Amino acid sequence: MKKYDAIVIGAGHNGLTNAAYLAKAGLDVLVLEKNPYIGGATVSRSLYEGWTYSNCSYVCSLFRPEIYRDLELARYGLQIIPYEGGITFMKNGDYFGNYADDERHHREIARHSKRDANAYHRYTADVSRQTRLIRPFMMRTPPDPTSFKPRDVMELIYIIKTYWDLGEEILYDTIRFWTMSVGDFLDEYFESSIIKAHLAGAGIIGTALGVYSPGTAYVLLHHYMGDVDGTIGAWGFARGGMGSIAKALADAFQSFGGEIKVDAGVDKILVSNGRVKGVVLENGDEYHANTVVSNLDPKRTFLKIMEEKDLPADVVKKAKNFKIRGSSGKLNISLDGMPSFYAIPKDHELLKADFHFIDSMERMERAYDDWKNGTWSKDPYLDTLIPTQVDPTMAPPGKHMMTIFVQYCPPKVEGKDWTDEQRDAFGKTVIDQISEYSPDFKDLILHAEIRTPREMENEVGLTEGNIFHGELTMDQLLFNRPFPGYAQYRGPVKGMYMSGSGTHPGGGVMGAPGANSAKEILRDLRRKNTVPEAFSDE
Amino acid sequence: MSKQYDVIIIGAGHNGLVCATYLAKTGRSVLMVEANKQVGGAAITREFSPGYSVSACAHLLHLFHPQIVSDLSLTNHGLKLAATDLHTIALAADGDHLTLTRNSVNGNGLSASDRTAYSEFQNKLRRFARIMQKTFMVRPPRLVHKNMTDLMNLAKLGLSVRMLGRDDMRELLRIGAINIFDVLQEDFQSELLKGVMGFDAVLGSNLGPRSPNTILTYLYRLTGQLHSNGSAISVPSGGMGAVTSSLRAAAEAAGVEIRTDMPVKQVLLDVDTVTGIETNSGEQINSAIVVSNADPKTTFLKLVGARNIETGFVRRIDNIRMQGKAAKLHLALDGKPKFKGVDENQLGHRIVIAPSLTYVERAFDHSKYGEYSNHPAMEISIPTIHDDSLAPTGKHVLSAIIQYAPYDLRAGWESQRESFKQLIVDKLAEYAPGIKDQISASELMVPPDIEKEFNIHGGHWHHGEYTLDQFMMLRPVPGAAQYATPVNGLYLCGAGSHPGGGVMGLAGRNASIEILLREKVA
């Protein structure tokens, strides 16, 4: 049997990124994927004839430009189409439009509150500063603060110095920003509840926290720290759906000689004498390698495909306690035409981007309370997009594809597994909310795919349906991600590594965990590093 | 123009009294002015019904620092504890209960693993709390600012974290910023035990057990167990007012002049420098140093005036979160209440109604939307078990802190106070059947009442929410975290400053040290 240099388990975008950099360094790499298609949650699927869905992740911004350029993904057909606009519909029939043009945006805020229009400049300046501060850390391995190794100490000094150099006032603001709730943060700037509701969404997406839970200001940052073609904070569609990202990564990987096997679910990582030997598949096939990388989330990695006897007791305990509660659902809908909305003219430019139907932070907080009580939000926060307005490849001419991200949706309903009836009721809750604002939306629906955390877990393998492979709270960020002492991508067994979103810097279609992990592996193997350094924003 | 003082202190709360006494002991002439008729601020004993007295706001002593007790010889000035080292009795709805001490927990049906987990958890968190406690004794270091004392204090803090050892340090860095709910799920099974521990983390705050920062508040509470040398939770003889009376006696012995019933209208300024105060009656008193024991919002927005301070600083003050969420219930009882399953000799301990984390969290949820909960959580003390000076012979007083009662109740407190009181009494009666027939008088204080009676903006006991963004060098705001303020000669010494609220006294002590350091000329 052939022995590989490295095996990567899971062909999600991070696994593929990781594999591509290992292969680029000359290693003989095998990627194993349980599904018949690659991409994990970065996937385009056709579930209704003629339509393509980005049926899990749905928009792109966080993907690291270093990787995009270094692996020449454009050559492999990856194209990100930036979108502009956004709208939040209000219960009273009005709306708030998010215009790209500064002047217009200012006027639109002033329409709701003059004071807020002025505060907005201060707000964007403060958030942009935080964004610029955090970006350089995406492509770096977090230091272990308890370690005395020169590398860790130097990295820690680098971090402290970066923040120290901000000056006293800004450093204080930074500490406050990291520890505050997005609700309290926005309350410090704005008075109008619609402005706050419009901005607060990014603080809760994918998170099992409410807008008033401290720590959510960081989650806001997590959604602002990306860029599209150098425009920081911008978001875009991957042409052809999110699967195009996985496809381009796979093509790059294969161009370096890498090999991908689909329909190859891993049953166990083989360990003997304290080091990995390879993997055994669910069908019994074995593949051997001295380096095995798990792109699965930490729970699946340590509790499913590794044996307790092969692991230190503390790792098993940490994996069991790892917080990975799913909090989001998803609807993908085939539409017979573009829906119209009461509040604005048909085909209004604001509809080219994300639209929302929740006009106060109190409604958002109540949506969170439903989740806490073990049920889906009865008045959920929706992040809705119709990418086919700018990407004609995903639906027949004149028809549209709509993607709806739903916050909050629990992994279990009142402690019990989801039933199909409950799933449909969940879908109806979402569709009903949109119908309040759109007269023809319901009639245009040709097909709807409803995904609760159960579907995400079963299909993609996201434990409890958590889109980030683990919650983004302080106990699971930076040197704590996934667990303290294991944040440098190395597993507890020799030759075993992690590359998924459960590692620093976390979830979102970013590619950074995969790339950082490859850097550490190549370092251990004493190979030349192929992973690019972080760009400077300057 | 009247007599000139070295220092004027606005507000005779416990921190103000502590600060005044330390300053007067160095020979400075100190005047204290207090708006109310008695000293003590929120640490007072007052009669709420003829013959019945109670600690009107804070009612159990658990953070008061022994250093202050000895420095100011408070025992000689009349401080006496009626009971020390109280247990916590956590009541379950079915009549069962748990008894918690510093290191152990006991009760029916409690698993061995929960018992072990409890003492391990308490020990571990006390190790973390010890680090916090060390920082309480010094002014919060300013960051970046190149000051040797600050850099040393920061280095000491870093070192003490390192000295924890690898595993503890990792654990502290993991859980330090998160919520008690998730952490308790890791180690404990009993809902009742988790409920009472979660309650301890949120008592007096505007947080629920699921809110991040509640490990911080729990550690804060634990510091009390460290510096009170075993007397963790105590009942002062004569109520909380006796603590401040002993402080008053110590202050006067040191030469502090105290004038009560004298509300201050404004702090007088010459551009950016303090010149004295003006009272409501129009009297102007000069002093180059004015120390405010009032909360930061009252100090800067009311007494100094926003127009006299730089805008950015005013904005920070404006943004301090300090809306009270705790109410206080006082009952005059004809006899000892009977709590289901609790025997008489346990009555004097601290009794908590918080049967599960979900119970507390749901009570919190209502308060987020300006409602009170139909199922409030509460901490109950019956001081008359230990101290018969508070009620006629054979009669009793029950004092309870109720979580959560929002400051800005949407329906308005005027119309709702009675029904909320009724609801709380009903809830009490579920655990103590028959208590209703024993009640001869009652009083409920909701946050606006606390605001009015004690002159605390928002009625927040701690003069500001205790969270990481309002902690140490961020407390109350950057620019005023070292007790000195942007106004020359104006200092803060209240619970809004580091290390914060609870009847602890360290804010007043630390402020006095800072004042002596900065104002070298007597």
User: What is the bridge-based pairing of β-strands B5-10 and B30-33?
Assistant: parallel
A222 and A127 both lie in a single domain? yes
Distance of CA B301 to the CA centre of its chain: 22
Q: Is residue A538 included in any domain, yes or no?
A: no
Mean pLDDT of A364-372: 98
Name the residue in chain B with its Cα closest to that of A146. B166
Q: Is residue A56 included in any domain, yes or no?
A: no
Q: What residues does CATH 3.50.50.60 cover in chain B?
A: 4-48+59-83+237-321+459-518
Residue B267, strand partner residues: B277
**Is any Cβ of chain A less than 8 angstroms from the Cβ of B154?**
no
**Is any Cβ of chain B less than 8 angstroms from the Cβ of A94?**
no
Residues 148-207 of A with CB under 8 A from B: 164, 166-169, 171-172, 175-176, 179-180, 184, 187-188
Name the band, by pLDDT with cuts 50, 70 and 90, for residue B231. low
How much is the pLDDT for B1?
Answer: 47
Name the residue in chain B with its Cα closest to that of A165. B144
How much is the pLDDT for A135?
Answer: 87
Between B162, B186, B212, which is nearest A214 by CB? Answer: B212
Q: What residues does CATH 3.30.519 cover in chain B?
A: 323-454
- Count of domains in chain A? 3
Residues 456-495 of B with CB under 8 A from A: 467-469, 473-474, 478
- In terms of Cβ atoms closer than 10 Å to its own Cβ (0-12, 13-18, 19+), residue A149 is exposed
Query: Of all helices (H) and strands (E), which one includes residue A513?
Result: helix A512-524
**CB < 8 Å to A485, chain B:** 170
Kindly report the number of other CB atoms within 10 A of residue B307's CB atom. Answer: 7
Note the pLDDT tens digit of each residue in B326-346: 999 999 999 999 999 999 999
CB-CB contact of B308 with B62 (8 Å): no
A360 and A291 both lie in a single domain? no
**Is any Cβ of chain B less than 8 angstroms from the Cβ of A122?**
no
Between B170, B365, B469, which is nearest A179 by CB? Answer: B469
How much is the pLDDT for B304?
Answer: 98
Distance CA A513, CA A140 (A): 9
Alpha carbon of B143: minimum distance to chain A alpha carbons (Å):
6
Between B170, B213, B469, which is nearest A484 by CB? Answer: B170
Core vs surface per residue A215-231: b (16+ CB within 10 A) or e: bbbbbbbbbbbbbbeee
Mean pLDDT of B410-417: 96
**Is any Cβ of chain B less than 8 angstroms from the Cβ of A357?**
no
The two tokens of residue A254 are 């294969």
Between B173, B178, B321, which is nearest A184 by CB? Answer: B321
Name the band, by pLDDT with cuts 50, 70 and 90, for residue A225. confident
Note the pLDDT tens digit of each residue in A66-102: 999 999 999 999 999 999 889 999 999 999 999 989 9
Residue A384, strand partner residues: A355, A404
Domain termination site, one of A400, A420, A451: A451
pLDDT of residue A348 exceeding 80: yes
How much is the pLDDT for A535?
Answer: 79
By residue count, chain A amounts to: 538
Q: By percentage, how much of chain B surpasses pLDDT 70?
A: 98
**CB < 8 Å to B143, chain A:** 164, 168, 171-172
Mean pLDDT of B296-309: 97
A157 and A262 both lie in a single domain? no
How much is the pLDDT for B230?
Answer: 55
The chain-wide mean pLDDT, for chain A, equals 95
Mean pLDDT of A472-483: 95
Interface test with B, best of A115, A177, A475, A486 (most B CBs within 10 A): A475
Q: Is residue A529 included in any domain, yes or no?
A: no
Note the pLDDT tens digit of each residue in B352-394: 999 999 999 999 999 999 999 999 999 999 999 999 999 999 9
Residues 291-320 of B with CB under 8 A from A: 315, 319
How much is the pLDDT for B522?
Answer: 46
Distance CA B135, CA A134 (A): 29
A172 and A270 both lie in a single domain? no
CB contact under 8 A, A179 and B211: no
CB contact under 8 A, A168 and B186: no
A302 and A256 both lie in a single domain? yes
Amino acid at A194: I
A446 and A478 both lie in a single domain? no
Mean pLDDT of A436-462: 97
**CB < 8 Å to B211, chain A:** 212-214
Distance CA B209, CA A242 (A): 38
Note the pLDDT tens digit of each residue in B55-78: 999 999 999 999 999 999 999 999
Size of interface A-B (CB pairs under 8 A): 85
Domain limits for position A201: 114-230
Name the residue in chain A with its Cα closest to that of B370. A362
CB contact under 8 A, A176 and B211: no
**CB < 8 Å to B162, chain A:** 146
Name the residue in chain B with its Cα closest to that of A163. B144
How much is the pLDDT for A537?
Answer: 65
User: What is the bridge-based pairing of β-strands A3-9 and A29-32?
Assistant: parallel
**Is any Cβ of chain A less than 8 angstroms from the Cβ of B155?**
no
Note the pLDDT tens digit of each residue in A505-521: 999 999 999 999 999 99
> Torsions phi, psi of A144, nearest 5?
-90, 110
Alpha carbon of A233: minimum distance to chain B alpha carbons (Å):
25
Mean pLDDT of A384-412: 96
The CATH superfamily holding the domain B4-48+59-83+237-321+459-518 is FAD/NAD(P)-binding domain (3.50.50.60)
pTM for this one? 0.96
Q: Is residue A210 included in any domain, yes or no?
A: yes
Domain termination site, one of A198, A230, A262: A230
CB contact under 8 A, A179 and B174: no
Closest CA to A347 of A337, A335, A358, A338: A338
CATH no., domain B323-454:
3.30.519
Q: Is residue A93 included in any domain, yes or no?
A: no
Distance CA A156, CA A140 (A): 12
Alpha carbon of A352: minimum distance to chain B alpha carbons (Å):
34
**Is any Cβ of chain B less than 8 angstroms from the Cβ of A360?**
no
How much is the pLDDT for B216?
Answer: 97
Give the 3-state secondary structure of residue A184. helix
**CB < 8 Å to A175, chain B:** 468-469, 474
Distance CA B72, CA A177 (A): 40
Mean pLDDT of B475-499: 97
CB contact under 8 A, B321 and A473: no
CATH code for the domain of A246 = 3.50.50.60
A144 and A202 both lie in a single domain? yes
CB contact under 8 A, B176 and A474: yes
A511 and A491 both lie in a single domain? yes
How much is the pLDDT for B228?
Answer: 59
Q: Is residue A456 included in any domain, yes or no?
A: no
Q: By percentage, how much of chain B surpasses pLDDT 90?
A: 95
How much is the pLDDT for A538?
Answer: 56
Q: By percentage, how much of chain A surpasses pLDDT 90?
A: 93
Name the residue in chain B with its Cα closest to that of A166. B144
Distance CA A527, CA B12 (A): 70
**CB < 8 Å to B186, chain A:** 321
- In terms of Cβ atoms closer than 10 Å to its own Cβ (0-12, 13-18, 19+), residue A327 is buried
The answer to whether the complex's ipTM is over 0.90 is yes
DSSP-derived secondary structure letter, B267? E
Work out the end-to-end distance of chain A between its first and last CA atoms, rounded to an integer number of angstroms.
50
A220 and A278 both lie in a single domain? no
A337 and A315 both lie in a single domain? no
A353 and A256 both lie in a single domain? no
Note the pLDDT tens digit of each residue in B9-46: 999 999 999 999 999 999 999 999 999 999 999 999 99
Distance CA A217, CA B22 (A): 41
pLDDT of residue A1 exceeding 80: no
A341 and A437 both lie in a single domain? yes
Between B144, B162, B368, which is nearest A365 by CB? Answer: B368
